[in-house]
Structure 1
């Protein structure tokens, strides 16, 4: 993600900030230009410090879960990200607030990235082929699970509980288990239907790269949970779960593609450099480009791998698990490149 600045004092702002910590001006994200706008906190109207347009906050700001903006005369009360919510948790239960907030932070970052790629995000409530989110507190209904079906992405509220999430991570023997990871994975299933299934040429290329998705999905998952991944899974897959079925291989690869793109973009806007003269050049890199402007995915990978090694090393120095505990093999790079090339035509802004 890019680095944002206060329009009044140029102090750095995080994507979720609704106020500058330095000068006190209000701040909000304007998705049409991917900018953080700032406003005089003592004014009765939200006129941007940089322009003379009046804005209003998304209605979900009153719940502390959104800082996105709309123009003042918009007929909508909710921003483009919050309009995609079909079900939100029961707000009469105060315990749901912090979990919903965590979910919204991850979802808004996901929408930022999908918008930057140039993907259409039609609303499921008004378009049968659209997308929506159900954030559900699971009580007695054991049939409800985190997942995707026909454009509906369901995330159980317990996924936003850090204690329960860490417990699930250990029980499932996963090295990485995050909300943004869940969302990127599940939205990958949605875009498989939109980008792959709808085009026979792309579908044929998908099968050559990921395998035949016609293999029985239920049986494949049952087999995976019974016997696990093959011993040599690391040579061809980004995760153990990716070995279960071509659909899951796609979704896992899609999620990791988005991970890498976000990591390299963030490094670029911070001007990060990995340059150790006493170590192999394979882990030296300078983040000189926005990955969304690059056609060659190999260039992006050559930057992303050294960055992940450096960040993992810093985490280990602090006694914290690796931030990106995965090895990207040539076969996985080929799969990610398939996704990269499929998405290139969407980036009309850059090419």
Structure 2
């Protein structure tokens, strides 16, 4: 996520800003320019129809219309479902961040809901059972994930390093990106390479699911997979790896935008005062450069968290086989952007 500034006074404002706390200017996010703009400067753009309901700060193409993010949610709690709407607001905030990442990467994002294209069903299991998942472009998520106690209980039960709403959305959208980045590329060599790296996604999913929950992941799963869940089926390996790619890319973009530098004691003591260790913005197709920056940044993030008495912020060790998969995802993202 890039850092943003008020278009009036140039002070820092968050991605979700609707008003500058310094000068009081009314602000909104323009998805076409991918910038925070003053409402007075938003030509031919209007507030999203969900602005009052869930606090959406994106601009829409017409008065009374939904913005480019909200229009992709086809099913959601009713307006009079106070608890459902409160959780919907949090899920939509995470979804807007995810869509921003895809737009920044150059990955195609539809402007309206169409069959087979990316869309969302954000549902409350308080009304009926909801299974989080993906099918033919439709991402379904249980809004109970917005409840901290529920999410933490499942995280511990499933022995996950971390569990977030944004992470869920990245994983499920990762499934859709298999179609967008690999199948629609028309590149038979890339498809063959993907199946060599991740396995054949046409393998029986039901049988793999039963096996995973009956036997668990293999003892050496970390040598080949980014997570234990990635061992379940090749499609889940791709989705987990793609979600992790988005995770790393977003964190690096954030660090670069805020001009974060990471350097060891020798560089800090350098009398020349050079800007050694300054994080540079990640570029699709140049994963090797991103990785060189990610490793020291993740060390620093973990050190900061430990200093505050918490566990590691980034509790992962990326094995060579996992790095090969991440490099492949990066190449496919770069190809789609091109």
Could you tell me the TM-score, scaled by structure 2's length?
Answer: 0.92
Change (3 A) 1:346 1:188: same
Deviation string 1:193-235 (CA, Å, 9 cap, x unpaired) is 2322343332211111111223211111111111111111111
User: Shift in Å at residue 141 of structure 1?
Assistant: 3.8
Asked whether 1:159 is paired with 2:152, we answer no
Instruction: Report deviation, 1:256.
Output: 0.2
Judge conservation of contact 1:123–1:131 (CA < 8 Å) in 2. Answer: no
Contact persistence 1:47–1:55 (CA under 8 A): no
Partner of 1:318: 308
Equivalent residue for 2:40?
47
Q: Any idea what SS the aligned residue of 1:234 has?
A: helix
Q: Distance in 2 between matches of 1:68 and 1:124?
A: 15
- Contact 1:69–1:79 under 8 Å retained in 2: yes
User: What are the ranges of 5 or more consecutive residues in structure 1 without an aligned counterpart?
Assistant: 39-45
Instruction: Show structure 2 runs of 5+ residues with no match.
Output: 268-274
Matched, 1:289 2:275: no
TM-score (norm 1): 0.88
Whose RCO is larger (CA < 8 A, sep 6+)?
Answer: 2
1:283-334 CA-to-partner distances (Å, cap 9, x unmatched) read: x972442213x53211101111211111122112212333221111221111
Alignment partner, residue 120 of structure 2: 133
> What is residue 297 of structure 2 aligned with on the other side?
307
Q: Secondary structure at the match of 2:8?
A: coil
Note closer, same or farther for the CA distance 1:123–1:149 as it changes in structure 2 (3 Å cut). Answer: farther
CA 1:154–1:124 in structure 2 vs 1: closer, same or farther (change >3 Å)? farther
CA distance in structure 2 between the partners assigned to 1:155 and 1:287 by the alignment? 37
Q: 1:174 pairs with 142, 160, 163, which one?
A: 160
What root-mean-square deviation, in Å, do the aligned CA atoms of Structure 1 and Structure 2 show? 2.0
> Which residue in 2 is equivalent to 1:92?
80
Could you tell me how far apart the structure 2 residues matched to 1:105 and 1:343 are?
A: 24
The 5-angstrom pairing of residues 1-351 of structure 1 reads: 1-38=1-38, 46-48=39-41, 53=43, 55-70=45-60, 74=62, 77-122=65-110, 125=113, 127-139=114-126, 141-142=128-129, 144-198=130-184, 199=186, 200-277=188-265, 286-292=277-283, 295-348=285-338
